Structure 1
Amino acid sequence: MLDLPTLSSNGIILKPLTLTHASDLVEACQDGELWKINVTSVPEPNKVIDYINTADSMPDRQAFVVIDERTGKAIGSTSFHDILPLTKRLEIGYTWYAKSYWQTHVNTTCKLMLLTYIFENLKYQTVGWRTDIENHRSQKAIERLGAKKDGIIRGNRVRRDGVISDTVMYSVLKSEWPQVKVELTNKLNKSY
Protein backbone atom coordinates (compact mmCIF):
# COMPACT_ATOMS: atom_id res chain seq x y z
CA MET A 1 0.00 0.00 0.00
CA LEU A 2 0.99 3.59 -0.54
CA ASP A 3 1.51 6.02 2.32
CA LEU A 4 -1.19 8.62 1.84
CA PRO A 5 -0.02 12.15 2.43
CA THR A 6 -2.04 15.18 3.45
CA LEU A 7 -2.11 17.56 0.49
CA SER A 8 -3.29 21.16 0.48
CA SER A 9 -3.77 23.80 -2.21
CA ASN A 10 -6.23 26.57 -3.12
CA GLY A 11 -8.24 26.12 0.08
CA ILE A 12 -8.72 22.38 -0.42
CA ILE A 13 -7.21 19.67 1.80
CA LEU A 14 -6.89 16.00 0.89
CA LYS A 15 -6.14 13.55 3.69
CA PRO A 16 -6.82 9.90 4.42
CA LEU A 17 -10.53 9.14 4.80
CA THR A 18 -11.58 7.92 8.26
CA LEU A 19 -14.82 7.38 10.16
CA THR A 20 -14.36 10.80 11.79
CA HIS A 21 -15.47 12.30 8.45
CA ALA A 22 -18.76 10.37 8.31
CA SER A 23 -21.16 13.08 9.53
CA ASP A 24 -19.75 15.67 7.12
CA LEU A 25 -20.00 13.20 4.23
CA VAL A 26 -23.62 12.43 5.11
CA GLU A 27 -24.30 16.13 4.68
CA ALA A 28 -22.19 16.34 1.49
CA CYS A 29 -23.99 13.51 -0.31
CA GLN A 30 -27.36 15.05 0.60
CA ASP A 31 -26.30 18.27 -1.16
CA GLY A 32 -27.93 17.45 -4.50
CA GLU A 33 -29.16 13.98 -3.44
CA LEU A 34 -26.15 12.55 -5.25
CA TRP A 35 -26.80 8.92 -4.33
CA LYS A 36 -29.82 9.05 -6.65
CA ILE A 37 -27.53 9.45 -9.68
CA ASN A 38 -27.45 5.90 -11.00
CA VAL A 39 -24.00 6.08 -12.64
CA THR A 40 -22.00 7.26 -9.59
CA SER A 41 -20.52 5.67 -6.48
CA VAL A 42 -21.90 8.25 -4.04
CA PRO A 43 -23.24 6.50 -0.93
CA GLU A 44 -26.76 6.89 0.39
CA PRO A 45 -26.68 9.06 3.54
CA ASN A 46 -27.45 6.12 5.81
CA LYS A 47 -24.66 4.06 4.21
CA VAL A 48 -21.74 6.49 4.56
CA ILE A 49 -20.15 4.49 7.39
CA ASP A 50 -20.37 1.32 5.25
CA TYR A 51 -18.85 3.28 2.35
CA ILE A 52 -15.88 4.34 4.51
CA ASN A 53 -15.43 0.84 5.95
CA THR A 54 -15.56 -0.71 2.46
CA ALA A 55 -12.97 1.76 1.15
CA ASP A 56 -10.74 0.94 4.10
CA SER A 57 -11.06 -2.82 3.60
CA MET A 58 -10.24 -2.89 -0.13
CA PRO A 59 -6.62 -4.00 -0.62
CA ASP A 60 -6.11 -2.01 -3.82
CA ARG A 61 -7.92 1.21 -2.83
CA GLN A 62 -6.80 4.10 -0.67
CA ALA A 63 -9.35 6.82 -0.04
CA PHE A 64 -8.98 10.52 0.62
CA VAL A 65 -11.50 12.89 2.13
CA VAL A 66 -11.83 16.29 0.44
CA ILE A 67 -12.07 19.15 2.94
CA ASP A 68 -13.00 22.79 2.34
CA GLU A 69 -10.31 24.57 4.36
CA ARG A 70 -12.56 27.61 4.81
CA THR A 71 -15.24 25.65 6.68
CA GLY A 72 -13.16 22.70 7.89
CA LYS A 73 -15.89 20.36 6.59
CA ALA A 74 -15.58 17.30 4.39
CA ILE A 75 -17.22 17.96 1.02
CA GLY A 76 -16.50 14.69 -0.79
CA SER A 77 -14.06 11.90 -1.40
CA THR A 78 -11.62 10.55 -4.00
CA SER A 79 -9.43 7.46 -4.10
CA PHE A 80 -6.39 5.79 -5.57
CA HIS A 81 -7.44 2.33 -6.76
CA ASP A 82 -6.32 -0.52 -8.97
CA ILE A 83 -2.80 0.24 -7.76
CA LEU A 84 -0.18 -1.70 -9.74
CA PRO A 85 3.25 -1.03 -8.19
CA LEU A 86 5.11 -3.27 -10.68
CA THR A 87 3.90 -1.34 -13.73
CA LYS A 88 3.71 1.93 -11.78
CA ARG A 89 0.08 2.50 -12.72
CA LEU A 90 -2.91 3.47 -10.63
CA GLU A 91 -6.32 4.95 -11.14
CA ILE A 92 -8.06 7.89 -9.55
CA GLY A 93 -11.72 7.26 -8.92
CA TYR A 94 -14.63 6.98 -6.53
CA THR A 95 -14.60 10.77 -6.79
CA TRP A 96 -17.57 12.82 -5.73
CA TYR A 97 -18.22 16.25 -4.26
CA ALA A 98 -21.27 17.95 -2.74
CA LYS A 99 -23.26 19.42 -5.63
CA SER A 100 -22.67 23.01 -4.47
CA TYR A 101 -18.96 22.46 -5.28
CA TRP A 102 -19.58 21.30 -8.85
CA GLN A 103 -18.15 23.60 -11.56
CA THR A 104 -15.79 25.25 -9.08
CA HIS A 105 -12.02 24.98 -8.70
CA VAL A 106 -12.35 21.93 -6.43
CA ASN A 107 -12.00 19.08 -8.95
CA THR A 108 -9.14 20.72 -10.84
CA THR A 109 -7.34 21.49 -7.57
CA CYS A 110 -7.75 17.94 -6.29
CA LYS A 111 -6.57 16.36 -9.51
CA LEU A 112 -3.57 18.70 -9.79
CA MET A 113 -2.50 17.79 -6.24
CA LEU A 114 -3.02 14.06 -6.83
CA LEU A 115 -1.30 13.97 -10.22
CA THR A 116 1.66 15.97 -8.89
CA TYR A 117 2.02 13.50 -6.03
CA ILE A 118 1.67 10.44 -8.29
CA PHE A 119 4.09 11.54 -11.01
CA GLU A 120 6.58 13.58 -9.01
CA ASN A 121 6.70 11.81 -5.63
CA LEU A 122 5.67 8.23 -6.36
CA LYS A 123 7.31 8.31 -9.82
CA TYR A 124 4.45 6.37 -11.37
CA GLN A 125 4.17 6.05 -15.15
CA THR A 126 0.41 6.03 -15.80
CA VAL A 127 -2.70 7.40 -14.13
CA GLY A 128 -6.07 6.10 -15.26
CA TRP A 129 -9.72 7.00 -14.81
CA ARG A 130 -12.87 5.05 -15.58
CA THR A 131 -16.48 6.08 -15.77
CA ASP A 132 -19.84 4.72 -16.87
CA ILE A 133 -20.56 5.18 -20.56
CA GLU A 134 -23.71 7.15 -19.62
CA ASN A 135 -21.90 9.46 -17.17
CA HIS A 136 -21.27 12.27 -19.66
CA ARG A 137 -20.59 14.83 -16.90
CA SER A 138 -17.74 12.69 -15.57
CA GLN A 139 -16.37 12.04 -19.06
CA LYS A 140 -16.21 15.78 -19.77
CA ALA A 141 -14.56 16.44 -16.40
CA ILE A 142 -11.90 13.79 -17.07
CA GLU A 143 -11.28 15.16 -20.56
CA ARG A 144 -10.93 18.71 -19.15
CA LEU A 145 -8.06 17.36 -17.02
CA GLY A 146 -6.14 16.50 -20.19
CA ALA A 147 -6.64 12.72 -20.03
CA LYS A 148 -6.78 10.77 -23.27
CA LYS A 149 -9.61 8.35 -23.99
CA ASP A 150 -8.18 4.81 -24.11
CA GLY A 151 -11.36 3.05 -25.12
CA ILE A 152 -14.49 1.31 -23.90
CA ILE A 153 -14.69 -1.91 -21.92
CA ARG A 154 -18.02 -3.48 -22.75
CA GLY A 155 -20.27 -5.03 -20.13
CA ASN A 156 -17.91 -4.82 -17.14
CA ARG A 157 -19.78 -2.74 -14.57
CA VAL A 158 -23.04 -3.03 -12.70
CA ARG A 159 -24.92 0.18 -12.01
CA ARG A 160 -26.74 0.91 -8.78
CA ASP A 161 -30.00 -0.28 -10.39
CA GLY A 162 -28.45 -3.63 -11.39
CA VAL A 163 -28.10 -2.82 -15.10
CA ILE A 164 -24.85 -4.08 -16.67
CA SER A 165 -23.10 -1.24 -18.46
CA ASP A 166 -19.91 -0.29 -20.31
CA THR A 167 -16.92 1.60 -18.92
CA VAL A 168 -15.02 4.40 -20.65
CA MET A 169 -11.29 4.35 -19.81
CA TYR A 170 -8.91 7.33 -19.82
CA SER A 171 -5.27 7.89 -18.91
CA VAL A 172 -2.39 10.34 -18.62
CA LEU A 173 1.18 9.12 -19.16
CA LYS A 174 4.23 10.46 -17.35
CA SER A 175 5.50 11.87 -20.68
CA GLU A 176 2.25 13.88 -21.00
CA TRP A 177 2.35 15.13 -17.41
CA PRO A 178 4.43 18.33 -17.93
CA GLN A 179 1.91 19.69 -20.47
CA VAL A 180 -1.09 18.54 -18.42
CA LYS A 181 0.39 20.25 -15.34
CA VAL A 182 0.80 23.55 -17.21
CA GLU A 183 -2.77 23.40 -18.53
CA LEU A 184 -4.29 22.57 -15.12
CA THR A 185 -2.26 25.31 -13.43
CA ASN A 186 -3.40 27.83 -16.05
CA LYS A 187 -7.04 26.81 -15.55
CA LEU A 188 -6.72 27.36 -11.82
CA ASN A 189 -4.98 30.72 -12.28
CA LYS A 190 -7.88 31.89 -14.46
CA SER A 191 -10.45 30.87 -11.86
CA TYR A 192 -8.93 33.05 -9.12
Structure 2
Amino acid sequence: MVAPVFLSYCGITLEPLTMMHAKGLSEACQDGKLWTIEVTSAPTPESVSDYIQLADSMDNRVAFAVIDDISGQVIGSTSYHDILPNAKRLEIGYTWYAQSYWRTYVNTACKLMLLAHAFETLHYQTVGWRTDGENLQSQKAIKRLGAKKDGVIRGNRVRRNGIIADTVMYSMIADEWPDAKATLEEKLAHYS
Protein backbone atom coordinates (compact mmCIF):
# COMPACT_ATOMS: atom_id res chain seq x y z
CA MET A 1 0.00 0.00 0.00
CA VAL A 2 0.94 3.67 0.03
CA ALA A 3 2.93 4.70 3.10
CA PRO A 4 2.07 7.95 4.90
CA VAL A 5 4.50 10.74 3.99
CA PHE A 6 5.12 14.42 4.67
CA LEU A 7 4.88 16.61 1.56
CA SER A 8 5.64 20.33 1.47
CA TYR A 9 5.46 22.92 -1.30
CA CYS A 10 4.60 26.58 -1.75
CA GLY A 11 3.96 27.24 1.95
CA ILE A 12 1.62 24.27 2.41
CA THR A 13 2.47 21.02 4.18
CA LEU A 14 0.59 17.75 3.98
CA GLU A 15 1.25 15.53 6.97
CA PRO A 16 -0.31 12.23 8.04
CA LEU A 17 -3.63 12.94 9.78
CA THR A 18 -3.60 12.09 13.50
CA MET A 19 -5.57 13.00 16.61
CA MET A 20 -3.13 15.85 17.24
CA HIS A 21 -4.88 17.62 14.32
CA ALA A 22 -8.39 17.31 15.85
CA LYS A 23 -8.58 20.80 17.36
CA GLY A 24 -7.27 22.44 14.20
CA LEU A 25 -9.64 20.48 11.96
CA SER A 26 -12.56 21.39 14.21
CA GLU A 27 -11.69 25.07 13.80
CA ALA A 28 -11.14 24.70 10.05
CA CYS A 29 -14.55 23.14 9.39
CA GLN A 30 -16.22 25.98 11.32
CA ASP A 31 -14.75 28.47 8.81
CA GLY A 32 -17.73 28.42 6.46
CA LYS A 33 -19.78 25.86 8.44
CA LEU A 34 -18.62 23.25 5.95
CA TRP A 35 -20.64 20.40 7.46
CA THR A 36 -23.82 22.15 6.29
CA ILE A 37 -22.81 21.73 2.63
CA GLU A 38 -24.41 18.44 1.58
CA VAL A 39 -21.89 17.65 -1.17
CA THR A 40 -18.71 17.87 0.95
CA SER A 41 -16.97 15.34 3.19
CA ALA A 42 -16.16 17.85 5.97
CA PRO A 43 -17.10 16.66 9.47
CA THR A 44 -19.04 18.60 12.06
CA PRO A 45 -16.87 20.24 14.73
CA GLU A 46 -18.09 17.62 17.20
CA SER A 47 -17.37 14.64 14.93
CA VAL A 48 -13.76 15.45 14.00
CA SER A 49 -12.35 12.71 16.26
CA ASP A 50 -14.66 10.15 14.64
CA TYR A 51 -13.62 11.48 11.20
CA ILE A 52 -9.93 10.96 12.03
CA GLN A 53 -10.54 7.51 13.54
CA LEU A 54 -12.51 6.41 10.47
CA ALA A 55 -9.79 7.66 8.10
CA ASP A 56 -7.17 5.82 10.16
CA SER A 57 -9.17 2.59 10.15
CA MET A 58 -9.56 2.41 6.36
CA ASP A 59 -7.02 0.05 4.80
CA ASN A 60 -7.13 1.74 1.41
CA ARG A 61 -6.91 5.37 2.55
CA VAL A 62 -3.99 7.59 3.53
CA ALA A 63 -5.33 10.80 5.05
CA PHE A 64 -3.46 14.09 5.39
CA ALA A 65 -3.89 17.25 7.42
CA VAL A 66 -3.35 20.37 5.30
CA ILE A 67 -1.17 22.89 7.16
CA ASP A 68 -0.59 26.56 6.31
CA ASP A 69 3.14 26.89 7.01
CA ILE A 70 2.97 30.62 7.74
CA SER A 71 0.27 30.45 10.42
CA GLY A 72 0.91 26.85 11.45
CA GLN A 73 -2.85 26.27 11.30
CA VAL A 74 -4.60 23.14 10.12
CA ILE A 75 -6.76 24.39 7.25
CA GLY A 76 -8.31 21.17 5.97
CA SER A 77 -7.77 17.60 4.94
CA THR A 78 -7.23 15.49 1.83
CA SER A 79 -6.54 11.82 1.15
CA TYR A 80 -5.34 9.16 -1.17
CA HIS A 81 -8.06 6.51 -1.22
CA ASP A 82 -9.35 3.51 -3.16
CA ILE A 83 -5.71 2.52 -3.59
CA LEU A 84 -5.20 -0.37 -6.01
CA PRO A 85 -1.49 -1.30 -5.92
CA ASN A 86 -1.75 -4.05 -8.55
CA ALA A 87 -3.47 -1.72 -11.02
CA LYS A 88 -1.21 1.20 -10.02
CA ARG A 89 -4.30 3.34 -9.46
CA LEU A 90 -5.40 5.52 -6.58
CA GLU A 91 -7.83 8.35 -6.07
CA ILE A 92 -7.49 11.75 -4.43
CA GLY A 93 -10.47 12.82 -2.39
CA TYR A 94 -12.05 13.51 0.98
CA THR A 95 -10.69 17.00 0.27
CA TRP A 96 -11.97 20.06 2.05
CA TYR A 97 -10.49 23.36 3.19
CA ALA A 98 -11.59 26.15 5.51
CA GLN A 99 -13.73 28.49 3.43
CA SER A 100 -11.27 31.38 3.74
CA TYR A 101 -8.81 29.27 1.68
CA TRP A 102 -11.23 28.61 -1.19
CA ARG A 103 -10.17 30.04 -4.56
CA THR A 104 -6.58 30.48 -3.41
CA TYR A 105 -3.40 28.65 -4.34
CA VAL A 106 -3.95 25.99 -1.65
CA ASN A 107 -5.85 23.40 -3.69
CA THR A 108 -3.45 23.76 -6.62
CA ALA A 109 -0.42 23.30 -4.33
CA CYS A 110 -1.98 20.27 -2.60
CA LYS A 111 -2.91 18.57 -5.85
CA LEU A 112 0.52 19.27 -7.34
CA MET A 113 2.18 17.57 -4.35
CA LEU A 114 -0.19 14.59 -4.35
CA LEU A 115 0.00 14.07 -8.10
CA ALA A 116 3.79 14.42 -8.21
CA HIS A 117 4.14 11.89 -5.39
CA ALA A 118 1.69 9.46 -7.04
CA PHE A 119 3.23 9.62 -10.52
CA GLU A 120 6.89 10.38 -9.85
CA THR A 121 7.63 8.62 -6.55
CA LEU A 122 5.08 5.81 -6.39
CA HIS A 123 5.05 5.34 -10.19
CA TYR A 124 1.30 4.87 -10.29
CA GLN A 125 -0.34 4.88 -13.73
CA THR A 126 -3.72 6.44 -12.94
CA VAL A 127 -5.02 8.98 -10.44
CA GLY A 128 -8.76 9.35 -10.12
CA TRP A 129 -11.26 11.71 -8.52
CA ARG A 130 -14.94 11.38 -7.75
CA THR A 131 -17.42 14.06 -6.80
CA ASP A 132 -21.12 14.51 -6.23
CA GLY A 133 -23.05 15.05 -9.45
CA GLU A 134 -24.31 18.38 -8.16
CA ASN A 135 -20.96 19.65 -6.85
CA LEU A 136 -20.19 21.84 -9.85
CA GLN A 137 -17.46 23.76 -7.99
CA SER A 138 -15.55 20.54 -7.36
CA GLN A 139 -16.06 19.37 -10.95
CA LYS A 140 -14.59 22.63 -12.28
CA ALA A 141 -11.63 22.35 -9.91
CA ILE A 142 -10.92 18.77 -11.02
CA LYS A 143 -11.06 19.74 -14.70
CA ARG A 144 -8.64 22.64 -14.04
CA LEU A 145 -6.12 20.05 -12.81
CA GLY A 146 -6.10 18.48 -16.26
CA ALA A 147 -8.24 15.46 -15.40
CA LYS A 148 -10.57 13.90 -17.95
CA LYS A 149 -14.19 13.03 -17.22
CA ASP A 150 -14.66 9.25 -17.20
CA GLY A 151 -18.41 9.25 -16.70
CA VAL A 152 -21.25 9.24 -14.21
CA ILE A 153 -22.15 6.45 -11.82
CA ARG A 154 -25.84 6.89 -11.20
CA GLY A 155 -27.35 6.53 -7.76
CA ASN A 156 -24.31 5.15 -5.97
CA ARG A 157 -23.96 7.45 -2.97
CA VAL A 158 -26.12 8.72 -0.14
CA ARG A 159 -25.69 12.31 1.01
CA ARG A 160 -25.87 13.31 4.68
CA ASN A 161 -29.51 14.29 4.19
CA GLY A 162 -30.38 10.79 2.94
CA ILE A 163 -30.79 11.76 -0.73
CA ILE A 164 -29.37 9.25 -3.18
CA ALA A 165 -27.03 11.01 -5.61
CA ASP A 166 -24.87 10.39 -8.66
CA THR A 167 -21.06 10.41 -8.69
CA VAL A 168 -19.00 11.98 -11.47
CA MET A 169 -15.68 10.20 -12.08
CA TYR A 170 -12.49 11.77 -13.46
CA SER A 171 -8.96 10.50 -14.01
CA MET A 172 -5.48 11.40 -15.19
CA ILE A 173 -2.96 8.92 -16.55
CA ALA A 174 0.82 9.07 -16.23
CA ASP A 175 1.30 10.18 -19.85
CA GLU A 176 -0.89 13.25 -19.17
CA TRP A 177 1.01 14.22 -16.02
CA PRO A 178 3.91 16.22 -17.55
CA ASP A 179 1.56 18.68 -19.29
CA ALA A 180 -0.71 18.90 -16.25
CA LYS A 181 2.32 19.49 -14.00
CA ALA A 182 3.55 22.35 -16.18
CA THR A 183 0.10 23.96 -16.10
CA LEU A 184 -0.18 23.63 -12.31
CA GLU A 185 3.31 25.09 -11.79
CA GLU A 186 2.42 27.99 -14.07
CA LYS A 187 -0.76 28.65 -12.08
CA LEU A 188 1.20 28.64 -8.82
CA ALA A 189 3.77 31.06 -10.28
CA HIS A 190 0.95 33.62 -10.65
CA TYR A 191 0.36 33.49 -6.87
CA SER A 192 4.01 34.27 -6.09
Q: TM-score range by the shorter chain?
A: over 0.9
1:70 and 1:97 map into 2 onto residues whose CA distance is 16
1:140 and 1:39 map into 2 onto residues whose CA distance is 14
What are the superposed Cα offsets for residues 58-95 of structure 1, whole Å, 9 maximum, x if unpaired? 11111000000001111000000000000000000000
Given the alignment of the two structures, is residue 13 of structure 1 paired with residue 9 of structure 2, yes or no?
no
Q: TM-score, normalised by structure 1?
A: 0.99
Partner residue in 1 for 2:189: 189
Give 3-state SS (helix, strand or coil) of 1:76's partner.
Answer: strand
Aligned length in residues: 192
Could you tell me which amino acid in structure 2 is paired with residue 93 of structure 1? G
Equivalent runs, 1:81-92 vs 2, <5 Å:
81-92=81-92
Partner residue in 2 for 1:65: 65
User: Offset at 1:5?
Assistant: 1.3
Partner residue in 1 for 2:100: 100
2:20 and 2:53 map into 1 onto residues whose CA distance is 12
Given the alignment of the two structures, is residue 34 of structure 1 paired with residue 37 of structure 2, yes or no?
no
Partner residue in 2 for 1:137: 137
Give 3-state SS (helix, strand or coil) of 1:146's partner.
Answer: coil
1:125 and 1:4 map into 2 onto residues whose CA distance is 19
Give 3-state SS (helix, strand or coil) of 1:162's partner.
Answer: coil
Moved over 6 A (4+): none
Partner residue in 2 for 1:80: 80
Give 3-state SS (helix, strand or coil) of 1:71's partner.
Answer: coil
**Is there any run of 5+ residues in structure 2 with no aligned partner, and where?**
none
User: Offset at 1:2?
Assistant: 1.4
2:8 and 2:132 map into 1 onto residues whose CA distance is 29
Partner residue in 2 for 1:162: 162
| Aligned-residue RMSD, C-alpha | 0.5
Could you tell me which amino acid in structure 2 is paired with residue 32 of structure 1? G
Give 3-state SS (helix, strand or coil) of 1:70's partner.
Answer: coil
**Is there any run of 5+ residues in structure 1 with no aligned partner, and where?**
none
Give 3-state SS (helix, strand or coil) of 1:154's partner.
Answer: strand
Could you tell me which amino acid in structure 1 is paired with residue 141 of structure 2? A
What are the superposed Cα offsets for residues 16-51 of structure 1, whole Å, 9 maximum, x if unpaired? 000000000000000000000001110000000000
Are the aligned partners of 2:56 and 2:63 in contact in 1 as well (CA < 8 Å)?
yes
Are the aligned partners of 2:80 and 2:93 in contact in 1 as well (CA < 8 Å)?
yes
User: Offset at 1:114?
Assistant: 0.5
Could you tell me which amino acid in structure 2 is paired with residue 58 of structure 1? M
Are the aligned partners of 2:3 and 2:62 in contact in 1 as well (CA < 8 Å)?
no
User: Offset at 1:172?
Assistant: 0.5
Could you tell me which amino acid in structure 1 is paired with residue 136 of structure 2? H
Q: % of aligned pairs identical?
A: 65
User: Offset at 1:9?
Assistant: 0.7
Equivalent runs, 1:114-129 vs 2, <5 Å:
114-129=114-129
* Of 1-10 and 71-80, the range deviating more from structure 2: 1-10
